Each structure stands twice: as C-alpha cells, then as structure tokens.
Structure 1
C-alpha cells in the first residue's frame, strides 16, 4: 500500500477543482466527471468527496439548491447523499458513506455545487468577479 505524497494531494486538489468547475460551467458533462471520479482509487474518491463538499458549502448552498441539484444529478431523492444534501443545514460526511455510494455522492455534490455556483456567478459575481474559477476559458473544456 502506498501513501499519497503532499505533491499528489495538491495535484488531486487542483484537478478536482478544475473538473468540478468545468462541470458547473457546462464545459464538461456530468457523465465525463463521473467517469473521471470512478477511475480514482477509493481513498482518492474519499478525498475528492471531502473537497467537493467543501466547495458546495463555500458556495452557500440552500435547501432549494439541494433539491434542484438532486433532480439534476439523476440520483434518487431517497438515496443517502440526496437526503443528506437536502436537509436544512446540509449534512457533511459524504466521504464516510460506504464506497458503493461514492459515485452517487459525487453526482449529487457536483450537481448541487453547479446550481449554487451558477446562482452566485449570476448574482454576487456578475460583471465584477475576480474568482479565476468562475471565468474558465472554453478552450479548457474536456469531452
């Protein structure tokens, strides 16, 4: 068993940030994001889930964002990740879900983040945004 180095961790965080923001901005499909996530080792999936949950919380998701994101994700509203994200004060701990639920958790988290981040880009950041991740070039799009 090999340990993840800090350089590997930084690389994974940057890649996660890029993939998630490309999905949120329609530069990458959710399906290609899920494929990328599915190819990760289980421990890396847990790390990504923690990162994406953090992005969602930083985007100040609401219960309405949760419901809209779940509908967009294609995950059943009764699945654990769906229930967790739709609670008034969304629950944390997605990385602690059984590994069989990690893909669903990723789909839900990314979809909810996309809803909340789009709302924020269209309101708080409209026309005066200095966030580099809100202004990704279309050329960076991945299939």
Structure 2
C-alpha cells in the first residue's frame, strides 16, 4: 500500500495527476488505473478522490459530460457517485463516501474527467495549448 506523508505528498499528487491524465488520454486503461487506486490505503484513496474531483471541476464538467462519463465508467447510473456527478451542479464530496464506494467513485470521476478533458482539448486548447498535462508523450515517444 502507498501511504502519503507531508514530505512526499507533492510527489503523490504529481503521480495521481500523471496517472489520471494518461487514463483520460487513452495512454493507460481505466482497469490499470483502478488497480493502482485499489492498492492505496484508505487515506490515500480519499486524497486521490479529492484530487480527481478537483480536476473534474477545473475541466468544467457539464451534465452531459457526467452522463457520458458514467456510461463509460461501468458503474450503474443509480449508484451514489453516478447520481452525484450528474446533478446540476455536480456534488463533489466523493472522499466522504463509505470506503466500499471509493472504487465506484473513482471510476466515475476519472471517466467523467476524461470526457470533459477531451472536449476541452478538442475545443479550447486545440492547437494553442500550453498545458503540460495535455501534451503527454505517447507510448512510442520518448519522455
């Protein structure tokens, strides 16, 4: 299990950012990412849920993004995380859900973020993007 501390919290957040963005861009499968998440401690999972909810907020998710992401996530539309993300405005208290709902919440958040972030990369950032997380090297490129 991965534990975080004040000395490595920044590195943990950067790892989370890299893994989630690789997943959003199709460089990593959702299943690989869920396996990584599942190996974290309870505190680590809660921290990641807060972090990924922040990414979703920054991507300005819409209700349509929520519905499309839930459909992609493999989580039932009636599950708590699915309902929360599809509300208008979305609810973001995923870290406060019971531990047995963390994986579902993570699947939903990453999937919705992927939908919203793809939309933003194809519209607002197309051709002029300077965001490092939108310019990740593909598997065939050197980092």
Q: TM-score, normalised by structure 1?
A: 0.94
Give, in whole Å, the separation in 1 of the partners of 2:46 and 2:53. Answer: 11
Query: Number of paired residues?
Result: 139
1:68 matched residue in structure 2: 68
**Superposition pairs for residues 101-116 of structure 1, below 5 Å?**
101-116=101-116
Give, in whole Å, the separation in 1 of the partners of 2:140 and 2:49. Answer: 23
Give the 4+ runs in structure 1 shifted more than 3 A.
Answer: none
Give, in whole Å, the separation in 1 of the partners of 2:69 and 2:134. Answer: 19
Per-residue CA distance 1:3-60 (angstroms, 9 max, x = gap):
8422221111001000000000000000000000000001100000000000000000
SS at match of 1:6: coil
Q: Compute the RMSD of aligned alpha carbons.
A: 1.4
Unaligned runs of 5+ in 2: none
1:138 matched residue in structure 2: 138
2:27 matched residue in structure 1: 27
Give, in whole Å, the separation in 1 of the partners of 2:107 and 2:86. Answer: 14
- C-alpha change, 1:109 and 1:140, in structure 2 (3 Å) is farther
* Cα shift at 1:140: 8.2
Give, in whole Å, the separation in 1 of the partners of 2:20 and 2:103. Answer: 14
Give, in whole Å, the separation in 1 of the partners of 2:23 and 2:93. Answer: 22
Q: TM-score, normalised by structure 2?
A: 0.94
